[in-house]
Structure 1
């Protein structure tokens, strides 16, 4: 038995060594060049810290973090720094809904009222049912009104509570920790006619299914429908069917699910941190994750686009990445190459060139994932500081230019042997 154990140990070590030899010396050299250049940008950037990741359709090409996560302790921002990614979180809603459909728990074109404990009805068109597909493509006619904006952002603790609740994060606002409620309770108060935050302007005057209108409430409602259809809380469902299979072991939907010592502050400016906060509508923007874990997520999405994903079937991924809308669904269509609102898949946005991705923004942070389908490469960037319109765009362009240049170089070398 002892000799067998030694044999198995030797085989394991050999396999590990082969994995470490996978990339060539030239590949490592190019990675180091990119690290050096991004480090130089971080020293004078308008944001304190940022994370990046690059993938192709086969491998993770690069992941790293730069700058500062905590200005008091000078904790570095690295690939294992945890941060909220804002609306990129919505892309998991689409994956989860399609997984639930695979499990036979729901169908995309089901009316949402088939599953909900309260009625969701557009008062301008009470005869037209709101469907799950409409929620995931932002055509449900549900609107982010003040009921949503003024009640979703919740402070983590009561430290400096009186001053923190008055910090300007327009059009939203900070609420005390006692305001934390479930997504079911929140949506009941906003969308049900008997809810204390309900008003008719939570719906537009358009018929459900007609016009694109980006809706955080609608996205969170899709997550609640999933909960009711499957009998599993959204955070538990997505952890079981997305995060764990992808080995995103440092990610989760609340502060207790992650290593809080790795969590970054988000910042008003380079000197002033925001208080820690979370969202009552956490499915629409509350995933806490790292650049390292996001590289795994991007790789899965890239593989899924080309029919080689692991968490959904080929058919489900095809649905996920199929643009669902047409020109008639837009009143003011964004034609920018890098806009994620030219068209919509099942929560995945498309630009005018057919490339796809999603953006995110919350107090003290901005994020983006973007995939170039013809080049078969994808990139991720997240920053932990409010956007300075005068200089942040310049910093972003410098980072994007490097990521684009080196993603092409690394892609060409990916998988080559020493």
Structure 2
């Protein structure tokens, strides 16, 4: 038996080596810019042909400048409409980057104290079971102890049939976080001191949007549109409001898997906590946002945002605590450095990603490298090969060399 176990262990080790080697080969990245870019296009098109995703768009940026954009597949399979870098779709949790920027802008103008109790400005009830104060910095670093329990967030946070949730943000927060609310649960709050544990919270991000609105005395969508979207020249918009009447951007249909595994169009849906994930944008839009973040407010040679505000957002605030304990990883104001590991491959990236039904998005730079990337899908892959296909694209785009 011991001999058999020994051979089983040897076989497992060999299989692990072979699998690791195969993954490494699959994720190989060409050295030159042109070859790497060609590999991105091939991988994107093969993913469409293999049924891993309906459509995909991407972009490469450097500090203050968009280098290139691309796309493959379909924005709308049924209508045969091709995906382009200008196609608009929800960006998922990358939306939170807008909250970090908006808060930094408000802080630099003396409108918001990032470390003061949010109840100093908040106009909706907040009744944590421990009675402890929460700051905006706690919300933006996911250390507030507010937890997205399924009975509240999953069951009441999503609404299908319309991009506008029937419950306004302030009402949802009052019903959820106020002790007299019909959705209030003590389990929405953790049993630890705020600031001592990282746990990702979409409800907390929705609350962050409300805090900003109450601090600046202006609706959150209006403030972010005027102070971020317009200066950057983005074509994007808040999904629950829709595009301006005089614009008609091309929209991607979002897809889920049907019983046969084929892609089926999802109905529109809205989020009660829309500041956490319901901004709509194109790959070109997100490329401009990332270029501004990398360039400390510079875009195409112009200072479009405050350098102090951008630096404030990116400054590390939380590291080496439970939930955020990988050495070197940190989080600023909805801006994270995180290590993503698949098999033998580990990537350290800085920025944000997003995921919702029919939505997968990435907006990252490689620390210490001159380029960053955007990657957006309007449908999710299935199985290990689908996951590896996305990892391959991320691997190709991350650390892209500059053009010769």
User: Structure 1 stretch 242-251 or stretch 316-325: which is displaced more?
Assistant: 316-325
The 1-side partners of 2:274 and 2:304 are apart by 22
Counterpart among 313, 325, 348 of residue 320 in structure 1 = 313
Structure 1: distance between partners of 2:302 and 2:139: 24
Cα deviation, 1:114-138, whole Å, max 9, x if unaligned, reads 1122332321x21x21111111111
CA distance in 2 between partners of 1:52 and 1:251 (Å): 19
Q: Does 1:278 align with 2:270?
A: yes
Aligned to 2:157: 152
Instruction: State the partner residue of 1:21.
Output: none
- CA displacement at 1:203 relative to structure 2: 0.4
Shift of 1:311: 4.6
How far residue 275 of structure 1 moved from its aligned partner, in angstroms, is 1.0
Would you tell me which structure has more strand in proportion to its own residues?
Answer: 2
- CA separation of 1:311/1:103 partners in 2, compared to 1, >3 Å: closer, same or farther? farther
* Gap runs ≥5 in structure 1: 1-25, 158-176, 414-418
Q: Partner residue of 2:198?
A: 212
Change (3 A) 1:255 1:113: closer
Question: What residue is the counterpart of 2:170 in the other structure?
Answer: 184
For 2:391 and 2:161, how far apart are their aligned partners in 1? 33
Please state how far the C-alpha of 1:32 moved relative to its aligned partner. 7.0
Determine helix, strand or coil for the equivalent of 1:326: coil
3-state SS of 2:265 partner: coil
Instruction: Please give the alpha-carbon distance, in whole angstroms, between the structure 2 residues aligned to 1:67 and 1:178.
Output: 28
CA contact (8 A) 1:57 1:299 kept: yes
Following superposition of structure 1 onto structure 2, how do residues 64-79 of structure 1 map, counting pairs within 5 Å? 64-79=70-85
CA drift at 1:242: 0.6
Partner of 1:136: 140
8 Å contact kept, 2:86–2:284: yes
The reply to whether residue 335 of structure 1 matches residue 326 of structure 2 is yes
Match of 1:374 among 368, 373, 378: 368
User: How far off its partner does 1:355 sit?
Assistant: 3.9
Q: Give me the whole-angstrom Cα distance separating, in 1, the residues matched to 2:62 and 2:165.
A: 42
* Contact persistence 2:365–2:398 (CA under 8 A): no
RMSD: 2.8
8 Å CA contact retained: 1:80, 1:291: yes
Q: Distance in 2 between matches of 1:305 and 1:246?
A: 9
Q: Is the 8 A contact 1:64 1:292 kept in 2?
A: no
2: CA distance, partners of 1:131 / 1:30:
44
Distance 1:368 1:32, change over 3 A: closer
Per the alignment, in what secondary structure is the counterpart of residue 120 of structure 1? coil
CA distance in 1, matches of 2:122, 2:398: 44
Question: CA separation in 2, counterparts of 1:336 and 1:370?
Answer: 19
* In 1: Cα distance, 2:41 partner to 2:220 partner: 37
In structure 2, relative to structure 1, the CA distance for the partners of 1:104 and 1:75 (3 Å cut) is same
Could you tell me how far apart the structure 1 residues matched to 2:362 and 2:40 are? 19
**TM superposition shift of 1:246:** 0.4
1:283/1:118 CA distance change after superposition, 3 Å: closer
Shift of 1:234: 0.9
| Deviation at residue 88 of structure 1 after TM alignment | 0.8
The one of 358, 375, 385 equivalent to 1:391 is 385
Deviation at 1:354, TM superposition (A): 6.5
Higher mean displacement: 53-62 or 83-92:
53-62
1:304 is aligned to 2:296: yes
Aligned to 1:221: 207
Deviations 1:84-109 (A, max 9, x none): 01111111100000111122211101
Q: Report the counterpart of residue 57 of structure 1 in structure 2.
A: 63
2:54, 2:148 → 1: CA distance? Answer: 30
> Which segments of 5 or more consecutive residues in structure 2 lack a partner in the other structure?
1-31, 340-346
Check if 1:263 corresponds to 2:251: yes
1:234 pairs with one of 198, 220, 223: 220
Is 69-78 or 177-186 further displaced after alignment? 177-186
Matched, 1:364 2:363: no
1:291 to 1:354, Cα distance in 2 relative to 1, 3 A: closer
Task: Name the count of aligned residue pairs.
Answer: 358
CA distance in 2, matches of 1:336, 1:41: 33
When normalised by structure 1's length, the TM-score is 0.78
Residues in 1 aligned to 2:137 and 2:154: alpha-carbon distance in whole angstroms: 23
Shift of 1:142: 1.0
Change (3 A) 1:44 1:334: farther
Q: Quote how far apart the aligned CAs of 1:33 are.
A: 7.6
Name the structure 2 match of 1:19.
none
The match for 1:345 is 332
**Alignment-derived partner of residue 110 in structure 1:** 116
